[in-house]
Structure 1
């Protein structure tokens, strides 16, 4: 709790409304009231941040922070005792707006605006134009690991990922458990060049959560399971027996299914 990332389980609890507090040891507040944070489950809004005395913590604080007990919360705050404790009040603020944006196919004016933005990115790049090449590569090779995509372009992986994040901000790409794919919005922008492209149909449904990890994702894909809706057509114990689908991946699937309103048979 001294500054570690929020776990997927805790994020799911915040989204469900079971958790609305976090306690951190910081030298100074790292967030402020009104801040919205992007997470794996959507947006979290910071409602307030206040310094508190560790001795003032109570069992209700622990429960609202997702700890099993006050003792557990105190243990989590045992490190960095030279730093003050801050009480952060949180709430789930809805899905990441980029998710909705990805499905919005722009009209001619919108495509013109986006292509102008891509042109500006290309002109400002010290390594030359990259936007259309990157969009076309992701389109042609969806669900392929970033290092492989970067290597095919002769680019460092970190630099390639940074550029893909820029495209993601505009809703043009989507990050998957392994690799990326173009969104309908991204496809429309890429196709505005008039080139005819053949694409396999997108699997309808909710994509597998990135949090399950690459081994579990590969195992499920090998079974033809690429969406949460497909996962729940199979028995949980059957999937647990697959190599690569361990307890952590199953727990993450449980959380994702609950968030999507789905359940195992």
Structure 2
């Protein structure tokens, strides 16, 4: 979920507890945790609202001075529904961090990672070459790595996110590097 940079601090400190989104269809589910640029957030409630029925208290909880300001900032097609999201910052660290730092892999861990990578490769192999290029060229822009592999940048970044979800890579300010788990996996497979 994309969150405007101006809201990051407020979400992190808990002063922003509402967001409004205009979507063709609901994009989040109440009770789920989402990773965002503002950190991990938990969506507590998702309610469809009419822009004309947005309350001042909710507009202020979303970081706006008025309901008019909140409505004016809605993006998307005017005919699409507007959703009010109540949220709070997630407690604790991102579980991917703990996973990425777990370098003590058993043979069953290696087999499970291999099985999951094979599933990701079902529509064409990419996982091994992506891990290899990140290992060889840490902290290199995603666009440069993608070009080296003859790929478009956006799908490449999406694929690296899948590897990160398995705890195999870490995102840096610029580019990526293998996590301790990723390094151990490549050494043991």
Bucket of the pairwise TM-score, normalised by the shorter protein: 0.7 to 0.9
Of 47, 55, 60, the residue aligned with 1:63 is 60
Structure 1 residue 67: deviation in Å? 1.1
Aligned residue number for residue 96 of structure 2: 98
CA offsets 1:75-134 (integer angstroms, 9 cap, x no match): 224975544443221111234322222112242232232234334545x243x4x43332
TM-score (ref. length: structure 1): 0.60
From the two aligned structures, give the one with the greater strand fraction: 2
Report the secondary structure of 1:171's partner residue.
Answer: coil
Structure 1 residue 58: deviation in Å? 3.5
Aligned residue number for residue 145 of structure 1: 141
Give the gaps of 5 or more residues in structure 1.
194-265
**Greater relative CO (CA pairs within 8 A, separation 6+):** 2
CA offsets 1:153-200 (integer angstroms, 9 cap, x no match): 34444443343232112010112222111111111111115xxxxxxx
Are the counterparts in 2 of residues 132 and 190 from structure 1 also a CA contact under 8 Å?
no
Which of structures 1 and 2 has the bigger CA Rg? 1
Aligned residue number for residue 49 of structure 1: 46
Aligned residue number for residue 244 of structure 1: none
Report the secondary structure of 2:97's partner residue.
Answer: helix
Aligned pairs for 1:120-159 within 5 A: 120-122=119-121, 124-126=122-124, 128=125, 130-159=126-155
Q: How many residues matched?
A: 187
Structure 1 residue 28: deviation in Å? 4.5
**Alpha-carbon separation, structure 2, partners of 1:84 and 1:159:** 28
Structure 1 pair 47–110 and aligned structure 2 pair: CA distance change class (3 A): same
CA offsets 1:231-253 (integer angstroms, 9 cap, x no match): xxxxxxxxxxxxxxxxxxxxxxx
